[in-house]
Amino acid sequence: MKITKATIHSVRFPLKEPFIISYATYPDMPGIILKLETDIGLTGFGEAVPDEHVTGEQVDAMFEVLKNVLIPRIIGRSPFDIEEIHHQMDAAISHNPAAKAAIDIACYDLMGKAAGHPVYNLIGGRAHDTLQYPKVLSIEAPEIMVEKAKLAQTQNFSSLKLKVGRDDAALDIACIYAVREAVGKDMPIRIDVNQGWQTVGIAVQTINRLEGANLTWIEQPIRMGDIRGLAEVRRKVSTPIMVDESMQSMRDVLEIIRLNAADYINIKLMKTGGIYKAVQIAKAAEAAGVIAQIGSMVESSIGSAAGYHAVMSRKNIQTAELTGPLLFAEEIGNLLYEPPNVKLSGKPGLGIDIDEQQLKKLTKKSAIIEGGNQINDH
């Protein structure tokens, strides 16, 4: 089986409401949907969602990187040669992990379909009985977040994730305690600061004031890249620390392990370059006694399903936060969410169906590459 044709779709997914985190507000979600076709008639889909604040990628540039740099390297190759495909992509261009993830995910979709197995069977098998996800609340006025948290309880969610990281840390503290009081002492709550508290001093002071909130963990409290600072935060607080933006590669996770900088790591396929490297990082974390999670850049059913297959395959990946399809006003896939669980279909590959008419509707521009040559661009 050889890859013979690639179609790149630059898309924008409309959101039901703006998604607000500490460093950005998203009115819609830009991304790339990649379709790979083979000489035996199989089709695989992948996805890339950029975040210029984290990986430095932007959707138009990613489109060009895929079209002119990465796709020509993989046309004519077997998707089963995933080690060589990653080697070729890394040799062609450094970084650009989300663009590489689109190819990686599409290759795994093709491998699963060719083998007649779901992707998780190719990377470790079924290591969990169920896959759960939290209700994720973006930054809003405290009274709105309280009402949404109470609603989540009635909708059968078993845990909450609160986005915080306002300029006013005192408002974050008040909001977190208000939500805790509203949902009771037993509802697990994790918070994601998305670098918003910036410095070690502010983070330590704020976290210590949150000890009474009984938080499961606090994610990325300080600016990305400062792993030594994150280790200092962890030494000075009792609440477990998760690293997200500062963990993008195997080199990062080894440094986090060396410095004892985190209790948990948040692996995202868009940061690591796809499933292949995400699983490698999870194995490295497991060897060091660090628990892993698969997180989201707000992908559609394609990227979200890929993440859940990675979760399913590894005991050490204990949680997941892939909720993008629930935030979209229009979608292209049918990944099944039944709060608090997501259910993989067990079908070959990613196990989802793609509505290509809907994909066409949401596409802003596209390109087709066949035999290493661009044959269409519109």
What are the angstrom distances between the C-alpha of 363 and each of 10, 35, 72, 357?
A: 6, 13, 22, 10
The C-alpha atoms of residue 154 and residue 1 are separated, in whole angstroms, by 49
Q: Which residues are catalytic?
A: 163, 192, 219, 244, 268
Task: Write the CB contacts of 147 (distance below 8 Å, at least 6 apart in sequence).
Answer: none
The C-alpha atoms of residue 150 and residue 34 are separated, in whole angstroms, by 38
Beta strands (DSSP E) in the chain are: 3-21, 24-38, 43-48, 131-132, 135-137, 160-163, 189-192, 218-219, 241-243, 264-267, 291-294, 317-320, 336-338, 341-343, 363-370, 373-377
For residues 281 and 292, the answer to whether their CB atoms sit within 8 Å is: yes
For residues 238 and 210, the answer to whether their CB atoms sit within 8 Å is: no
DSSP code of 134? P
Beta strands (DSSP E) in 230-362 are: 241-243, 264-267, 291-294, 317-320, 336-338, 341-343
**Other beta carbons less than 10 A from residue 101's beta carbon:** 32
For residues 217 and 241, the answer to whether their CB atoms sit within 8 Å is: yes
The C-alpha atoms of residue 336 and residue 70 are separated, in whole angstroms, by 31
Residue linked to tokens 């070729």: 88
